[in-house]
């Protein structure tokens, strides 16, 4: 169950990062602020990817 | 960047473009051979059979609805307004390739190229799912991929969609540019491969109780290296045809595309050999082959817009990235990807997209190109990966994608096809003995 929640959270973070990038494009003019929001969106996606990757690591039979 | 107007192709360009398109299936043949060679001997016939099925399903799914949703620049499309700008998000062409004016130019050339490239993209996940992915599930997953996932992103990049129009709408360079398909074909295929590897899980006995991966070497190094040579020819056709049809490159510029593609692949292959020689004492044939293909993948996006020296740099970085990434996915993330599809196509493709932002020189320079490329990468990771994962997860809930344990022990050839690729070979089963 924990792994399922982590997977879901990771994928939702990926979508959230993309939403930030889209919002920056729709709401802001080309500027340093817009670029910062795009980079921030990518950073959120990196977090989501890390979480999804961690959740998908196969469980080991013994402790790591 | 939007595609060229319909009347811009001369008769000579059309002829040469058709020749380039006819070379593209060789890229698919190369990838299929690489996937098969890197898998086990007891799944070899299944792997090639799956490749043939994937090409067939992809072509049919693309014919039924794929092209309708991908469309072409200047074709009918759905758009909405936000922030005072129009956002073109999906094509509205008729299904079954009807009423598209296929006698005109260049729509039939685009459709002809795409019916091959969608198959090439759909072959990529086979490398990640080798030795454990059921044939029926492969066909169903391919239908979703070729019918929806691929066309949607390809419309955004090649069909006059919102990514291609980032330059006009948002003042970001020339918009998201990808001449040969580093993102649309390879990164989309590579991210689907990651989703498949996650959903299927690793092969039995791949990881020990302590988490250390067991080496399960590919069964046929000659297949793998021959696959590279075939793929090179296919890539030359793919990059040249893509450059003409999707980036508006003039016919003489295809010479530069050919030079850049060859140089990038060569630099990447040698770099991968050097990296594996440094790390393991001897050059690793399978990782060198993966590095070579990684260089071709990375070359695709910027092949028409960089100088040969920059293509070499792109290849060197790809050749170093791919073997290190294969190791990282296998050891750190425990992703069992026998064909290295995620590293070669997703990592290599994303590097190619970013390399265009770093190195590309357009005739009319415009600021913001690197940011436009970053937006494309954000879309790949933030939209395409969750979408393809979600679709394949749903499919897995309806009907499990992974073969039963008995099938994996027996080998996919015997279990699913009833006959082995190499009947005279002895099947080794010691890895299934209890530890």
ipTM (interface predicted TM): 0.94
* Bond into B8 cis (ω within 30): no
Q: Which residue of A has its CA nearest to B81?
A: A26
For residues B119 and B54, give the distance between their C-alpha atoms in angstroms, rounded to a whole number: 7
CA distance A2 to chain B (A): 16
Residue B85 placed within a domain: no
Q: What is the pLDDT of residue B428?
A: 57
Residue A3, SS3? Answer: helix
Q: Which residue has the tokens 């279990």?
A: B415
For residues A5 and A7, give the distance between their C-alpha atoms in angstroms, rounded to a whole number: 5
Give the phi and the psi of residue B192 in degrees, each rounded to 5: -65, -35
For residues B392 and B2, give the distance between their C-alpha atoms in angstroms, rounded to a whole number: 31
First to last CA, chain B: 57
Q: A64: pLDDT confidence band, cut at 50, 70 and 90?
A: very low
Q: What is the pLDDT of residue B426?
A: 63
Where does residue B110 rank: exposed (0-12), middle (13-18), buried (19+ CB within 10 A)?
Answer: buried
Other C-beta atoms lying within 10 Å of the C-beta of residue B216: 18
Nearest to B260 by CA among B323, B321, B314, B181: B314
CA distance A26 to chain B (A): 5
For residue B388, give Cα distances in angstroms to B118, B157, B192, B337. 15, 18, 6, 17
Asked whether the beta carbons of B118 and B152 are under 8 A apart, the reply is no
pTM confidence score: 0.94
Partner residue opposite B211 with nearest CB, options A19, A49, A60: A60
Other C-beta atoms lying within 10 Å of the C-beta of residue A63: 7
Residue B65 placed within a domain: yes
Partner residue opposite A30 with nearest CB, options B170, B335, B381: B170
Q: Is residue B210 within 8 angstroms of chain A, CB to CB? A: yes
The domain spanning residue B299 has which CATH number?
A: 1.10.3430.10
Q: Is residue B418 within 8 angstroms of chain A, CB to CB? A: no
Cβ <8 Å between B385 and A38? no
Q: What is the pLDDT of residue B215?
A: 87
Block mean pLDDT (10 aa), chain B, length 435: 58 92 98 97 96 98 96 92 91 88 75 96 97 97 98 97 95 96 98 97 89 90 96 98 94 95 98 97 96 98 97 98 97 95 98 97 92 98 98 96 93 93 69 53
Contacts of B187 in chain A (CB under 8 A): none
Mapping DSSP onto H, E and C, the string for chain B reads CCCCCHHHCCHHHHHHHHHHHHHHHHHHHHHHHHHHHHCCHHHHHHHHHHHHHHHHHHHHHHHHHHHHHHCCCCCCEEEEEECCEEEEEEECCCHHHCCCCCCCCCHHHHHHHHHHHHHHHHHHHHHHCCCCECHHHHHHHHHHHHHHHHHHHHHHHHCCCCCCCHHHHHCCCCCCCCCCCHHHHHHHHHHHHHHHHHHHCCCCCCECCCCCECCCCCCCHHHHHHHHHHHHHHHHHHHHHHHHHHHCCCHHHHHHHHHHHHHHHHHHHHHHHHHHHHHHCCCCHHHHHHHHHHHHHHHHHHCCCCCHHHHHHHHHHHHHHHHHHHHHHHHCCCCCCCCCHHHHHHHHHHHHHHHHHHHCCCCCCCCCHHHHHHHHHHHHHHHHHHHHHHHHHHHHHHCCCECCHHHHHHCHHHHHHCCCCCCCCCCCCHHHCCC
Domain-wise residue ranges, chain A? 2-56
Give the residue numbers spanning the domain of B345: 6-80+91-432
What is the dihedral sign for C-alpha B162, B166, B169, B174?
A: negative
Cβ <8 Å between A64 and B210? yes
Report how many domains make up chain B.
Answer: 1
For residue B95, give Cα distances in angstroms to B61, B167, B256, B391. 10, 30, 37, 21
Cβ <8 Å between A25 and B166? yes
Cβ <8 Å between A11 and B207? no
For residues B338 and B36, give the distance between their C-alpha atoms in angstroms, rounded to a whole number: 10
Residue B188 placed within a domain: yes
Cβ <8 Å between B333 and A57? yes
Q: A62: pLDDT confidence band, cut at 50, 70 and 90?
A: very low
Q: Is residue B175 within 8 angstroms of chain A, CB to CB? A: no
Asked whether the beta carbons of B193 and B121 are under 8 A apart, the reply is no
């Amino acid at each position: 169950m924990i792994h399922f929640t982590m997977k879901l959270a990771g994928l939702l973070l990926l979508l959230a990062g993309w939403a930030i990038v889209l919002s920056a494009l729709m709401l802001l003019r080309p500027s340093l602020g817009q670029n910062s929001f795009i980079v921030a969106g990518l950073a959120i996606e990196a977090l989501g990817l890390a979480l999804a990757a961690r959740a998908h690591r196969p469980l080991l039979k013994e402790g790591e | 960047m939007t595609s060229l107007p319909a009347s811009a192709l001369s008769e000579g360009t059309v002829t040469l473009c058709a020749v380039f398109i006819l070379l593209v299936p060789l890229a698919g043949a190369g990838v299929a051979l690489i996937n098969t060679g890197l898998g086990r001997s007891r799944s070899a016939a299944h792997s090639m059979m799956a490749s043939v099925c994937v090409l067939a399903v992809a072509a049919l799914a693309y014919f039924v609805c794929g092209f309708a949703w991908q469309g072409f620049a200047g074709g009918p499309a759905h758009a909405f307004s936000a922030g005072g700008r129009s956002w073109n998000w999906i094509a509205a062409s008729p299904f079954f390739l009807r009423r598209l004016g296929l006698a005109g130019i260049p729509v039939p050339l685009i459709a002809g190229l795409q019916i091959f490239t969608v198959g090439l993209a759909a072959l990529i996940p086979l490398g990640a799912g080798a030795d454990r992915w059921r044939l029926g599930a492969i066909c169903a997953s391919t239908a979703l991929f070729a019918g929806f996932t691929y066309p949607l992103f390809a419309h955004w990049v090649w069909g006059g969609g919102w990514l291609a129009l980032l330059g006009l709408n948002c003042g970001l360079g020339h918009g998201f540019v990808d001449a040969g398909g580093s993102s649309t074909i390879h990164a989309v295929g590579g991210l689907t491969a990651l989703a498949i590897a996650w959903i299927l899980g690793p092969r039995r006995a791949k990881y020990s109780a302590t988490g250390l991966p067991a080496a399960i070497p590919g069964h046929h190094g000659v297949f793998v290296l021959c696959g590279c040579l075939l793929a090179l020819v296919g890539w030359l056709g793919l990059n040249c045809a893509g450059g003409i049809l999707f980036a508006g490159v003039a016919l003489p510029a295809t010479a530069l595309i050919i030079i850049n593609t060859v140089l990038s692949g060569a630099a990447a292959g040698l770099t991968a050999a050097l990296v594996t020689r440094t790390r393991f004492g001897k050059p690793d044939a399978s990782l060198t082959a993966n590095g070579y293909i990684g260089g071709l993948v990375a070359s695709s996006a910027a092949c028409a817009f960089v100088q040969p020296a920059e293509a070499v740099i792109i290849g060197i970085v790809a050749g170093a990235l791919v073997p290190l990434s294969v190791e990282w996915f296998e050891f750190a993330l425990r992703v069992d990807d026998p064909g290295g599809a995620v590293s070669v196509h997703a990592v290599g493709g994303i590097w190619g997209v970013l390399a265009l932002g770093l190195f590309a020189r357009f005739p009319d320079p415009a600021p913001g190109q690197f940011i436009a490329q970053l937006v494309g990468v954000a879309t790949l990771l933030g939209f395409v990966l969750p979408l393809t994962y979600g679709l394949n997860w749903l499919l897995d809930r309806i009907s499990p994608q992974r073969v039963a344990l008995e099938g994996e022990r027996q080998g996919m050839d015997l279990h699913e096809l009833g006959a082995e690729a190499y009947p005279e070979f002895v099947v080794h089963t010691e890895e299934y003995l209890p530890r």
